[in-house]
Amino acid sequence: MARAVTPARKATVTVFAWGVGLLIFFPILWTILTSFKTEAEAIASPPSFVGFDWTLENYSTVMERSNYFLHFLNSVVISVGSTLIGLLVAIPAAWSMAFVPGKRTKDVLMWMLSTKMLPPVGVLIPIYLIFRDTGLLDTRTGLVIVLTLINLPIIVWMLYTYFKEIPVDILEAARMDGASLRAEIIYVLTPMAVPGIASTLLLNIILAWNEAFWTLNLTAANAAPLTAFIASYSSPEGLFYAKLSAASTMAIAPILIMGWFSQKQLVRGLTFGAVK
């Protein structure tokens, strides 16, 4: 029998959850508020939360100084492109690990995950030299390749977890009906794992969108995404907090809106298979 939850306990948990949520969201909220302040008000002490003169001057300055839409387009192409290519590779790989018997599957998965333990700076020089010699430096294609390889272990791990929740009997029934390997993956496995695939896609778009190390070191101007757009407001003269906050707000707004509208699908995918 399920244990009854008292109204007092439910209210306590709700207040605690809201408190944690607001604590996590507060830096984003403060960045957004600072973007509407003047530079003097942005560094004022004590800081003002809402009692300041609101201005759009920082946004107009940012738009005049930088080509925001070029950086935005670069971010879209790089994040979506690397995620889609990663899915094309990861779906068959995760299928083979989840449904083809093998004693070394966990070892392979752990080996793939171990590649995320290496600090990126450890392989920066060889990758930079390869990109320089092959003409991939400061190109969208180069960043798509790098981010695909970086996030591929995470994509495979997530899909493997979702695929393991699918009954193997369904796939065996499809084989008995004459389904080929290609038809089994495309028409049977993939539709059943749509929630998991969707959450994997969304999370990896966010990871690629926020990637800063590789985008700052492998781009200059042509393929620079929004992370480089933000970094351009850090100058030797110092930090212009209001303008930096405006640039940051413009960079996170698209992905924040996407996450807000897709949160239901994201939560559904993350809990896929958790309740039987």
pLDDT at 113: 83
Residue-by-residue DSSP string for 244-259: HHHHHHHHHHHHHHHH
Q: How confident is the model at residue 127 (pLDDT cuts 50, 70, 90)?
A: very high
Contact 213, 147 (CB under 8 A): no
Instruction: Output helix, strand, coil percentages for the chain, rounded to the nearest 5.
Output: 75, 0, 25
pLDDT at 114: 86
Per domain, the residue ranges of the chain are 66-232
Q: What is the pLDDT of residues 107-126, one digit of tens each?
A: 888 888 888 888 888 889 99
- Predicted TM-score of the model (pTM): 0.84
Residue with tokens 């969108």: 209
* Consecutive H or E run containing 235: strand 234-235
Q: What is the CA radius of gyration of the chain?
A: 23
Rounded to whole angstroms, the Cα distance separating 157 from 113 reads 8
Contact 90, 159 (CB under 8 A): yes
CA dihedral 136, 83, 29, 40 (to 10 degrees): 10
Rounded to whole angstroms, the Cα distance separating 111 from 120 reads 17
SS3 category, 239: strand
The domain at 66-232 falls in which architecture? Orthogonal Bundle (1.10)
Name the residue type at position 4. Answer: A
* Consecutive H or E run containing 86: helix 68-99
Q: What is the pLDDT of residues 222-266, one digit of tens each?
A: 889 999 888 887 765 567 888 889 999 999 998 888 888 877 777
The predicted model gives 174-197 an average pLDDT of: 83
Q: What is the pLDDT of residues 7-38, one digit of tens each?
A: 888 888 899 999 998 999 899 999 999 999 88
Cβ count near 245 (within 10 Å): 24
The predicted model gives 155-160 an average pLDDT of: 89
